[in-house]
Amino acid sequence: MRVAPTPPTRSVVRDQVPSSPSPNLVTVTTHTTLTTLVIPTERSQAMSETGASYAAAGVDIEAGDRAVELMKEWVKKTRRPEVLGGIGGFAGLFDASALKRYQRPLLASATDGVGTKVDLARRMGVYDTIGHDLVAMVMDDIVVCGAEPLFMTDYICVGKVHPERVAAIVKGIAEGCVLAGCALVGGETAEHPGLLGPDDFDVAGAGTGVVEADGLLGAERIRTGDAVIAMASSGLHSNGYSLVRHVVFDRLGWTLDREVPEFGRTLGEELLEPTRIYSLDCLALTRTTEVRAFSHITGGGLSANLARVIPDGLHAVVDRSTWTPGAVFDLVGTAGRVERAELESTLNMGVGMMAVVPRESVGAALTTLADRGVDAWVAGEVTDRGEHSTGAGMVGDYAS
């Protein structure tokens, strides 16, 4: 059992039960730690003259403890006043009395991962950016409804615990939590020898936020004539990497250390660019002007995600001519001979978040975002649905 220092908690699952367990295996569950006991038989005794050990099974307890020590200081940086130390360290605690200022608080939750981008981090030997990506994927889903991010937990699954690697991932998560304004209250590192290779890993996270019921954003607020504001992405973010990897590795045969003039850096550096975290930018908008809804542009692309917040009877029209997608999108499309519709339904095309605001609020919204260093512009408007079969669509060609 590994427990991080006050206030967050972090446990280690030393291994998991095999999908088809041997008749000689008995599993004992103690809190969050699964322990496999070997019951000797004549056959198993004959197979080995020495006693079995956890280390021999591929589980390194000391490495797990070392990882916790390395991540301590980073986790502490995410502390919020509402976070309390967990009794016995088995759970992270958040003081819900802090929500008394809300008339009717609604809790918003989300769970996500970063997909196959983890493979690029493994190849590059750079792990903190993946942690940053994880916070963006979770917390920017939460802020879409107008919720303030409160706290987050993470799950890191590895074939073998490399302390520095795990600590680097948590460092990135902690840095992302600071940017999103939330606390990292706990997490778990699960070591799965035999199920994952020694260098394999994956990450996932879950977060919680709060919004006043009367301030809940969404489709019911949107009206004809509202403006659609686009906020620039920092690059590919964390979606579409299966397509990107297929194009650059399988079709082009490129390596991650290849210098790409269009990027002004290596391919690997471009692909690992951290996902922008918009949480505090979006909350700033809700404080300075009226916002109808937000749309986090992730898997499925711009139109599909924007359509999720457009009510029946209305249609959001996005004009491609209002921006130029970054070089990485052009590379994937051109080198992979990817049809535009396929590209737009897979990648964000340079837009990471969208806000729907009343037409009269556009000026204030753009000023707020500019003051916060967010590149934003009016990309479209909301009209009657008419003959359109979906809630959002794109028109025109991208600016050159």
What is the structure's pLDDT at 374? 98
Question: What percentage of the chain carries pLDDT values higher than 90?
Answer: 72
Higher pLDDT, 351 or 2: 351
Reference 233, options 391, 377, 397, 116; nearest CA is: 377
pLDDT per position as a tens digit, 91-148: 888 999 999 999 999 999 999 999 999 999 999 999 999 999 999 999 999 999 999 9
For the four alpha carbons of 210, 213, 219 and 225, in that order, the dihedral sign comes to negative
Name the most confidently modeled range: 10-14, 34-38, 76-80, 376-380: 376-380
pLDDT per position as a tens digit, 33-58: 333 333 344 444 444 566 776 666 66
> Has residue 87 got a pLDDT over 50?
no
Phi, psi angle pair for 272, to nearest 5°: -95, 5
- How would you classify the pairing of strands 93-94 and 83-84? antiparallel
User: Do the domains at 60-212 and 219-395 have one common CATH topology?
Assistant: no
10: pLDDT confidence band, cut at 50, 70 and 90?
Answer: low
Q: Give the three-state DSSP class for 342.
A: helix
pLDDT per position as a tens digit, 155-185: 999 999 888 999 999 999 999 999 999 999 9
68: pLDDT confidence band, cut at 50, 70 and 90?
Answer: confident
Higher pLDDT, 301 or 17: 301
* Distance in angstroms (rounded) separating the CA atoms of residues 129 and 145: 26
Average pLDDT over residues 233-241: 97
**What is this structure's pTM?**
0.85
Average pLDDT over residues 276-305: 97
CATH superfamily of 219-395: PurM-like C-terminal domain (3.90.650.10)
Amino acid identity, residue 20? S
* Distance in angstroms (rounded) separating the CA atoms of residues 273 and 342: 22
CB-based contacts of 293, cutoff 8 Å, min separation 6:
144, 217, 218, 219, 221, 222, 309, 355, 356
Q: Give the three-state DSSP class for 67.
A: helix
Residue 323, CA distances (Å) to 73, 145, 277, 326, 379 in order: 41, 26, 20, 9, 8
Amino acid identity, residue 188? E
CB-based contacts of 202, cutoff 8 Å, min separation 6:
113, 118, 156, 157
What is the structure's pLDDT at 376? 99
Domain regions of the chain by residue span: 60-212, 219-395
> Has residue 26 got a pLDDT over 60?
no
Average per-residue pLDDT in the chain? 87
What is the structure's pLDDT at 144? 98
User: Which H/E stretch holds residue 210?
Assistant: strand 201-212
Fold category of 60-212 in CATH: 60s Ribosomal Protein L30; Chain: A; (3.30.1330)
> Has residue 73 got a pLDDT over 60?
yes
Q: Which two tokens stand for residue 148?
A: 């303030």
User: Which H/E stretch holds residue 351?
Assistant: strand 351-357
Residue 356, CA distances (Å) to 19, 300, 301, 315, 353 in order: 47, 19, 17, 12, 10
Average pLDDT over residues 365-378: 98
Q: For the purposes of burial, counting CB atoms within 10 Å of the CB of 143, is it exposed (0-12), middle (13-18) or buried (19 or more)?
A: buried
Local structure of residue 193 (DSSP, 8 states): B
Residue 61, CA distances (Å) to 39, 171, 198 in order: 22, 21, 15
Reference 289, options 382, 213, 367, 365; nearest CA is: 365
What is the structure's pLDDT at 214? 97
* Distance in angstroms (rounded) separating the CA atoms of residues 375 and 229: 10
CB-based contacts of 200, cutoff 8 Å, min separation 6:
122, 158, 159
* Distance in angstroms (rounded) separating the CA atoms of residues 12 and 25: 21
Reference 132, options 232, 235, 230, 240; nearest CA is: 235
Strand order in the sheet with 392-395: 293-296, 351-357, 227-232, 376-384, 314-319, 392-395
* Distance in angstroms (rounded) separating the CA atoms of residues 212 and 171: 31
Q: For the purposes of burial, counting CB atoms within 10 Å of the CB of 39, is it exposed (0-12), middle (13-18) or buried (19 or more)?
A: exposed
Reference 94, options 149, 140, 159; nearest CA is: 149
Contact call for residues 145 and 292 (beta carbons, < 8 A): no
Reference 399, options 362, 349, 355; nearest CA is: 349
pLDDT per position as a tens digit, 245-277: 999 999 999 999 999 999 999 999 999 999 999
